[in-house]
A and B are shown apart, each in its own frame.
Chain A
Amino acid sequence: MKTPQGIPLEYYLWLSAALFTIGVLGVLYRRNAIIIFMCIELMLNAVNLLLVAFSNYYNDASGQVFVFFIMAVAAAEVAVGLAILIMMYRNTKTTDINTLDRLKW
């Protein structure tokens, strides 16, 4: 169960799980919308790392192509998300997500 470089594949599983959990922790822990957005990027990267690790393990380049597409989608997502964030700031003068609670019941 080792990658061709001699690192056990499980180690990448643990690392990705840790990074993903840190991302989730950040989303739950912080109230600043920009930090939450950054933590979502962190979660995306944890998944990317695992995809590359498995692609390397099975010698299949498809996983790396998927990572390439995920990066393209992440770039688009960041551009639109930050635009929404700026619009939100223009209306509420804050990036605190607790001001946006009208959908809460």
Chain B
Amino acid sequence: MTLNLFYFLSFFGVICALLVVFSRNAVHSVLYLILTFFAIAGHYILLNAQFLAAVHVIVYAGAIMVLFLYVIMLLNLNQEAEPHKSTVLKFAAAISAGLLLTVFVGSLKGTELMAQQQGPATNVGLVKSLGRLLFTEYLLPFEISSVLLLAAMVGAVMLGKSEQNTDTR
């Protein structure tokens, strides 16, 4: 049952990821990427990481992809304006990616996992345990990430501001 669910989510995710790359329309790409993210959120739930699944759906499907859709709408991209590479470059890209996959398969196939004993089954993925870890052991990185988000916000506003406004200031 769990294994079947894993297969379903994996194939769904991989096919949607391929469609992200190969669909002509940028809006379709975004929609397929959202489906991929939902498949990955399903994997998180399968891996007993409920908190991360919720955060993943909220942050990626809810915030980041909306931002992408918004930018595509703002730039008014349509199919005619879509640039395409030449066939030779596309072949080169596909071959390079295939070689990378070969390297991954070759390097991962023979590896043995580190024989570390599994600890007792605890609910590490729940909000309670993750929150406790986040606010004790990882408190400093947590606070620094808030500064990072503030800096990103200021940077995005500075970059997105139109040129005329800076002149009249």
Contact = CB atoms under 8 A, between A and B. Distances in A.
A29 B90 contact: yes
A35 B64 contact: no
A81 B26 CA distance: 17
A64 B49 contact: yes
Contacts of B155: 79-80, 83
A103 interface: no
Interface in A21-63: 21-26, 28-32, 34-35, 37-39, 41-42, 45, 48-49, 52-53, 55-62
Interface residues of B, number: 84
Contacts, number: 226
Contact of B14 (A5, A19, A62, A67): A19
Interface in B115-147: 116, 118-122, 124-125, 129-130, 133-134, 137-138, 141, 145
Interface of A: 1, 3-7, 9-15, 17-26, 28-32, 34-35, 37-39, 41-42, 45, 48-49, 52-53, 55-62, 64-65, 67-69, 71-80, 82-87, 89-90, 94-96, 98
